[in-house]
């Protein structure tokens, strides 16, 4: 099993991640009202820089941490485009921890565990780097700025 075997929800319905087969991916649980929200700008910069070479950022809004993503799909999309000119895909809201965690996130957490092997995601803007084969390579803490990932993205491209 790889990331490309999953189907995820969008504002319009469902989308198979097989659409991203062969690409390097950065999968991020995002929120509009978080101290890390300005990272949208860095994520968009990575997407614009490396997108032509087969790289995509996938944003998954999540309201599990401090209720920092309260909006509906339309409000989230509007915020992302008007505040940060986001052009990378933003999917439907998901849960990343607990019994209702999206299966994609269960897979990512197992494939790229956190510190000391922990599975739980600690906060918004946790990032998972996925190689071209669809396997998670590394998890990054919310405090890791998107620009700090450039060298590792380059290596996978």
- Triad 121, 131, 86: Cα angle to 5°: 65
Residues 6+ apart with CB under 8 A from 48: 87
Q: Is 137 helix (H, G, I), strand (E, B) or coil?
A: strand
Residues 6+ apart with CB under 8 A from 153: 24, 26, 46, 50, 55, 129
* Sequence-ordered strand ranges (E) for the chain: 7-9, 14-16, 24-30, 55-61, 127-130, 136-140
Q: Is 34 a catalytic residue?
A: yes
Using CA atoms of 24, 90, 10, 72 in order, give the dihedral in degrees to the nearest 10.
160
Please tell me which residue in 3, 30, 34, 62 is annotated as part of the active site.
34
> Residues with catalytic annotation?
34
């Amino acid at each position: 099993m790889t990331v490309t075997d999953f189907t995820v929800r969008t504002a319009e319905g469902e989308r198979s991640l097989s659409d991203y087969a062969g690409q390097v991916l950065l999968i991020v649980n995002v929120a509009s009202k978080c101290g890390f929200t300005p990272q949208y700008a860095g994520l968009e910069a990575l997407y614009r820089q490396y997108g032509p070479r087969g790289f995509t950022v996938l944003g998954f809004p999540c309201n599990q941490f401090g209720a920092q993503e309260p909006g509906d799909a339309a409000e989230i999309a509007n915020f992302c485009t008007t505040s940060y000119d986001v052009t990378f895909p933003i999917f439907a809201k998901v849960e990343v921890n607990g019994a209702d965690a999206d299966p994609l996130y269960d897979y990512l957490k197992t494939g790229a565990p956190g510190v000391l092997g922990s599975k739980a995601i600690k906060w918004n803007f946790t990032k998972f780097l996925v190689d071209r084969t669809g396997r998670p390579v590394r998890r990054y803490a919310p405090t890791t700025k998107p620009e700090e990932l450039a060298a590792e993205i380059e290596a996978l491209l």
